[in-house]
Amino acid sequence: MDVPFRQSHGWIEVITGSMFSGKSEELIRRLRRAEIARQNVQIFKPKFDSRYADDQIVSHSEMRIQSVNVSSSAELLRCVERDTEVVGIDEAQFFDAELPAVCNRMAGMGKRVIVAGLDLDYLGRPFEPMPNLLAVAEYVTKTHAICMVCGNPASYTQRLVASDERLLLGTQGTYEARCRGCFDPTLAGNPEKTQVTSDPRTVTSDE
Ligand code: ZN
């Protein structure tokens, strides 16, 4: 049957910002409110992200919500059920380039699609597929952390260990939030500079 489930149109919401800016918390908050309103909600995250729990989205503040792991945006689309009204997606930057098209498709089917992900990588470059998602989204929320060096609003994710892996999962002391002025991408690429600082507030405790 090709008859659409609902007459009303769907839309795309994106929640984006640096690490420690509360993206997952905001995603969980919106999904919980939909569940309280007894809407049919499905939640996905990429298989790659297994830091905390296999079948849950967990924020840094330990808020959690049930989710399903998928290995591609095509698999995500296959898993979405016909009567699902709200689709939540976390860690969208770990998905493939088809994610914006898949989100568009789901919005076209009348679903509310809420996507959270990092907008910039550890070098401060736009983190695909987020730029295209931001372009097609009806609503964009930029969340900010607080700079660990100076206390200003932070939109960069500072990597504190030397690695040129774009997908390096964060453990304690691997990343911190920084503002534009305090962000230093060379910290991640030059082992000599890593962890060298004269400001005691920036010293991390992962020894
Ligand atoms: Zn700063």
Q: What is the pLDDT of residue 172?
A: 64
Amino acid residing at 25 = E
* Averaged confidence pLDDT in the chain: 85
> Domain residues of the chain, as ranges?
11-143
Q: Which of 25, 26, 85, 91 is catalytic?
A: 91
Under the phi-then-psi rule, with left for phi > 0, alpha for psi from -120 to 50, and beta for the rest, what region is 120? beta
Asked if 75 is an active-site residue, the reply is: no
Greatest CA separation found in the chain? 66
Q: How far apart are the CA of 136 and the centre of ligand 1, in A?
A: 31
Q: How far apart are the CA of 63 and the centre of ligand 1, in A?
A: 27
Q: How far apart are the CA of 1 and the centre of ligand 1, in A?
A: 55
Specify whether the CB–CB gap between 206 and 173 falls below 8 A.
yes
Q: pLDDT tens for residues 8-62?
A: 689 999 999 999 999 999 999 999 999 999 999 999 999 865 555 578 777 777 7
Specify whether the CB–CB gap between 9 and 52 falls below 8 A.
no
CB atoms within 10 A of CB 94: 18
Q: What CATH architecture does domain 11-143 belong to?
A: 3-Layer(aba) Sandwich (3.40)
Q: What is the pLDDT of residue 152?
A: 97
Q: How far is 196 from 162, CA to CA, in rounded Å?
A: 12
Q: How far apart are the CA of 148 and the centre of ligand 1, in A?
A: 7
Q: What is the DSSP letter of 1?
A: -
Strands 68-70 and 41-46 come out as parallel
Q: How far apart are the CA of 146 and the centre of ligand 1, in A?
A: 8
Q: pLDDT tens for residues 101-150?
A: 999 999 999 999 999 999 999 999 999 999 999 999 999 999 999 999 99
